[in-house]
Amino acid sequence: MPFQILCSQGRVADRSDRMLEGAKLTADKLALHYDLTPNYVGQRSPAKSDDWSLALPEAKKHLDLLQTETSRLLANGKHPVIFASNTCSASLATLPVVAATFPDIKVLWIDAHSDFNTPDTTETGYLGGMVLAATCGLWESGLGSGVKPNNVGLIGVHDIDEKELNNVNNAGVIHFPPSTLTPESVMRFIGDSKVWVHVDWDVMDPGQISADFKVEGGLKIAQLLELFESLPSNQIMGLELAEFCADSHSSVANMEGLDLILKTVDALFKQNKSL
């Protein structure tokens, strides 16, 4: 399967420098395994804790670059695209392009959080917690929208506040929490539609793949592999892998996490290469 690898290397509301390094390590691992050359976009800048109203304009130039490159990759018809992303916030750039290219695409948002807050409902001000709501048109990010809320499936979301849950329910987004998630239920949801998959590694129960946020009660690696093995590869247009938190002190921990990430990618695209 002719993958294309895109890697974000510019800050998009990053609150830890390890996210940018994690994205590069992910892209490098996949490139080596599949014998491909990644397309690295952006230049690194220091992480900081800032409100969305500051983080978004700061990231606008980088998001524009990501949007342009995503458009180019999708336009050449070589699917799927694998996007190694530092933060979920980078999906503000990719998802509107995906929706414009494939208007009826189903989005599987695999994350501990629904990222469905708006400027009016956010309690933290974190841009990453507002991404999916923007791409579904609940607020204006300046990068477009177009994702149909009833074509979004929240997979494994288990850390969501009341106002955000109201946004999800009112918009008609489908929710598959960890306790009731089955491959069969997701397959019924996607039907024969094209599919875009987004994974934030905080969806996993802590101790499996390192993520910036640690939330108990997440998916086990076996659950994710079972789901990915069941999805039809020919319907997958793209895969986003976000927020792998590189360990600055342990290359062994990084290698273990990257091996699991690669295993999930192989499972999704039914690859049989040895790790």
Q: What is the pLDDT of residue 271?
A: 67
Q: Which amino acid is at 216?
A: E
At 77 the pLDDT is 81
Instruction: Give CA–CA dist 183/189, Å, rounded.
Output: 10
DSSP state of 104: T
pLDDT for 156 equals 96
**Which of 122, 11, 27, 161 lies closest to 81 in space, CA to CA?**
27
Burial of 235 (0-12, 13-18, 19+ CB in 10 A): middle
pTM across the whole model: 0.96
- The structural domains of the chain, ordered by start, are 4-269 (3.40.800.10)
Starting at the edge strand that comes first in sequence, how are the strands of the sheet with 39-41 ordered? Answer: 39-41, 4-8, 81-85, 236-242, 195-200, 106-110, 152-155, 174-176
pLDDT of residue 1: 59
Could you tell me if 6 and 38 are in contact, meaning their C-beta atoms sit under 8 angstroms apart?
yes
H/E/C letters for each residue in 147-209?
Answer: CCHHHEEEECCCCCCHHHHHHHHHHCCEEECHHHCCHHHHHHHHCCCCEEEEEEHHHECCCCC
Instruction: For residue 59, give every residue at least 6 positions away whose Cβ sits within 8 Å of its Cβ, in sequence order, or none.
Output: 10, 11, 12, 13, 89, 127
* Distances in whole angstroms, Cα of residue 123 to Cα of each of 14, 82, 270: 18, 31, 40
Q: How far apart are CA 141 and CA 98, in angstroms?
A: 16
The token duo for 138 is: 């609940």
**Quick check: 217 and 180 in contact, CB under 8 A?**
no
* pLDDT value for 275: 36
Q: What is the pLDDT along the chain (275 residues), one digit of tens a residue?
A: 578 999 999 999 999 999 999 999 999 999 999 999 999 999 999 999 999 999 999 999 999 999 999 999 999 887 899 999 999 999 999 999 999 999 999 999 999 999 999 999 999 999 999 999 999 999 999 999 999 999 999 999 999 999 999 999 999 999 999 988 999 999 999 999 999 999 999 999 999 999 988 889 999 999 999 999 999 999 999 999 999 999 877 788 899 999 999 999 999 998 644 33
For residues 90 and 210, what is the distance between their CA atoms, to the nearest angstrom? 19
For residue 240, what are the contacts with CB-CB under 8 A and spacing of at least 6? 82, 83, 85, 91, 94, 196, 197, 198, 199
Q: Kindly write down the DSSP assignment for every residue of 67-81, as one continuous string.
A: HHHHHHHHHTT---E
